[in-house]
Structure 1
Amino acid sequence: MDNIELVKLGQWHCDLTTGELSNGQTQNTLEPKTIELLSYFLNNHSKVLPKEQIVNSLWEDTIVSDEVLAKTISKLRKALNDNPKTPEFIETLPKRGYRFKVAPQPIISNNTLKQDTTKVGHTKLVLLLATVAIAIGTVFFIYRDYNSSNNQKQPSSTILNPELSNLQKQADDYYFQYTRADNENAIRLYERIIAAEPNFGPAQSGLATALVQKVLRWPNELGTPDIEHTTLTQAHKEQRLATPEAKQYLERAQALGERAVRLAPSDSSVHRSLGLVYAAQNKFDLALKHYDKAIELNPNAWGAMINKSEILDTRNQTLEGLELLTNAYEAMEREYNSETVKIRPWHSKIGIAIAKKSNQIGKSLDAEIWYRRVLNYSPLDVEANLGLMELLKSKGEQASAKEICHKLQLSVSPELSCQE
């Protein structure tokens, strides 16, 4: 079962990559550790499994109580609607352990072509090959025309119906708002798409990226103050991505991201997503490999450029990182009209980041140009105004700095002090 992703368990269809369970009426999503437990049961179905064996396999190098295992099994039972008193799936054997009673049936996806050439006559085989050749030629021209008119997007091999396509757009739009509620909405929509169409790569990668953001930006419990998120680098320093819960989410994100790349290897966005997952796991070389692939597939892949730039900064490749960040900004400018919702939250931030980095390496004139470039389309951006104000002060242009201060004071920051 190790290489099988889709299985049938009685009335349930299960995607072992995403943890989606569906019986046509009910849809459940398993947590990462519950997915591991189900996979372990499937690999050892019909066997009596002692508690210690299960714990050692699922929580190696970690000391956990029997209660933790019992709770995980309870969650799996609940998802499968399995009554522990009359179990269809998970049988409890007192003083012996557990046994998974149902043998899984692999589900062959529509993308898997099964050929039996011994039953195909020579004439039929020739006709089949001719038909395939025509189909390949047709696909080639469709893809070529698509790419020539829309360079930044590569279609997945699976095409969504209009309803699911609209859900995908909504999920992407939610994700790019970068709020906790919007990210949770994105997760739910991506999961609905995957349940309906398991072979659509961009939904898998979208869910992977949203899970990374969940542990990166909102590791705090609901009802508690949000943390002040800055960068992936800072998250690593604060060990926010090293907690057991974070690791579980990231393991699920990795499985989703890797599957997305297998499903849609020519889609730039899925490579960028997998790169982000690897970067969150401290696997920077793998992250760079997929960021580079994303940029190769799409020269306007500004998200991958931003992410790669941050890794280069951690390796003291400051100039290379600054150049890449500048390229990302220029790509955002080119794509702004077609990707406004995605780009708007980043537009000013990246311009300001370029200004700050330019100033840090002694290029104060470049820094001033970038601050003014941001203010040209966002004149009341507080961070850009303050950055320019401090830069002008450092150059002895007190009057100009004070003018900026008064403008902010009158418009958006009345508490700001403009004293010398």
Structure 2
Amino acid sequence: MSADTPFVMGPIRVEPAINRIESEAGPVELEPQVMDLLVYLAGAQGEVRSKDEIAAALWPDASVNEDALSRTVWKLRQALGDDAKSPRYVQTVSRRGYRLIAPVEPVDEAVKAPGGTVSAPVLMVSALALVVILVGASVLLRSPQASAPDQGSQTRGETLALLDRADGFYAQYTRSDNEAALRLYERVLSEDPENAAALAGQANALTQRVIRWDLDGASNRSTLTEALQSGALDTPRALAALERAEALAQEATRLDPGHARAWRALGLIKAAQSDFDAARRAYDRALVIDPENWGAMINLSELEELTGHPDRQADLLARSFEAMSRDYAVNPVAIRPWHSEVGLAVARLRAEAGAPQQAELWYRRVLALDPLNAEAVSGLARLLRAGGDEPGAEALCRELEAAGGGRCAR
């Protein structure tokens, strides 16, 4: 079976060439890597494939951490309507990896068996369709007023696409993008009020609205620290908005206690309410669930700054930078706005702590990923000058300015 050959898994038809699966619930569009995972496991014919083998097959040119693979498996299960605790399709084999437990047959073999007879999988699907038709007819006969299915309801694939789009808007941290994210999360929740991911996303976006922008849009803050110091979080409207966000996040953690992002959202809300101990517990819970959750590390680092622990702040930011580096190939939209800023923050903290060699290393790490970052060039140039390397500092500044990357602070 080639990589683009359509195949069936029980009642599900898989179309690798167009990244789509179809079942009685309707079509679902898959991300390319999610489809690649499904095709790879299907090709293993029920055998277990280790996490290392899967990572090498899906990301041959990138160093990918286990969290990226786990998210890809999670997205596949969501698309298939599968349950990790009682799987019908993708089984987790403890300490070994994953395998596809549903029987797989290419479509050209499944449609017609040798001799022109219909093969067993198609007979099963046809029988199932007949049962559905008969049951549906009996329901209609018993309920003359039964209405037709809502044609506007979202399919599972549409819900996942809306969530991905909402997360992408949210990750830009502008007011208009944040408002767009809120509307998309609300669209998901209008169809699925118990969607933990949408509840957590809405809680995050509502909290960011209060932290970053006054409700009349007059002010623009960039950090929780600024918001706390300004008093903007103490107004009755802000307190009410945070209370609503907290209710959403608490509901998300109740519905899915293993949802790291829901706990991270709760941590941010508690920090905005100045309940730092509760915020720390929520962030710690998120990191127990997902040790690579770089967003929780960034939020926790600001909490350490607020509570007077800059040494812990630098270490958490360094860990989050490493986690983002491992996750970048899978999640570039969310990571790009943060990656350089986090590296720069580590460099500044190392310099302030009297460790110029470590600060230089971090400025260089930022420049390796973001070669025209004016702050990294300026910071590195200052360190070079302080170390007696004036020609090296000038060369860096000239290169930045010649490339149109801005002026170097001298």
Equivalent position of 2:328 in the other structure: 336
Distance 1:179 1:384, change over 3 A: same
**Structure 1 runs not aligned, ≥5 long:** 1-134, 151-158
* Seq. identity, %: 39
Is 1:138 the counterpart of 2:86 in the alignment?
A: yes
AA aligned to 2:285 is K
Distance 1:221 1:145, change over 3 A: farther
Of 271, 275, 278, the residue aligned with 1:279 is 271
AA aligned to 1:278 is K
Equivalent position of 1:161 in the other structure: 156
How many Å separate the matches in 2 of 1:376 and 1:346?
A: 15
1:144 Cα deviation after fit: 3.9
SS at match of 2:323: helix
Q: C-alpha deviations, 1:275-300, integer Å up to 9, x for none?
A: 11111111111111111111111111
How many Å separate the matches in 2 of 1:352 and 1:239?
A: 28
Q: C-alpha deviations, 1:159-205, integer Å up to 9, x for none?
A: 97111111111100110011111110000011111111011111001
Count residues with an aligned counterpart.
Answer: 273
Equivalent position of 1:325 in the other structure: 317
SS at match of 1:241: helix
How much is the aligned-residue C-alpha RMSD, in angstroms?
A: 2.6
Equivalent position of 2:358 in the other structure: 366
Equivalent position of 1:385 in the other structure: 377
Equivalent position of 2:391 in the other structure: 399
AA aligned to 1:361 is A
1:394 Cα deviation after fit: 2.4
How many Å separate the matches in 1 of 2:95 and 2:334?
A: 21
Distance 1:398 1:148, change over 3 A: farther
Q: C-alpha deviations, 1:65-85, integer Å up to 9, x for none?
A: xxxxxxxxxxxxxxxxxxxxx
Of 281, 295, 301, the residue aligned with 2:293 is 301
Deviates more, 1:199-208 or 1:317-326: 317-326
Equivalent position of 2:240 in the other structure: 248
1:303 Cα deviation after fit: 0.5
Instruction: Indicate if the aligned counterparts of 2:374 and 2:408 stay in contact, CA closer than 8 A.
Output: no
1:411 Cα deviation after fit: 2.4
Superposition TM-score, scaled by structure 1 size: 0.61
Superposition TM-score, scaled by structure 2 size: 0.62
Q: C-alpha deviations, 1:108-150, integer Å up to 9, x for none?
A: xxxxxxxxxxxxxxxxxxxxxxxxxxx9962599574699879
1:320 Cα deviation after fit: 2.0
Distance 1:312 1:148, change over 3 A: farther
AA aligned to 1:198 is P
Q: C-alpha deviations, 1:261-287, integer Å up to 9, x for none?
A: 001101111111111111111111111
How many Å separate the matches in 2 of 1:287 and 1:140?
A: 38
How many Å separate the matches in 2 of 1:345 and 1:269?
A: 18
How many Å separate the matches in 1 of 2:305 and 2:195?
A: 34
Is 1:191 the counterpart of 2:183 in the alignment?
A: no
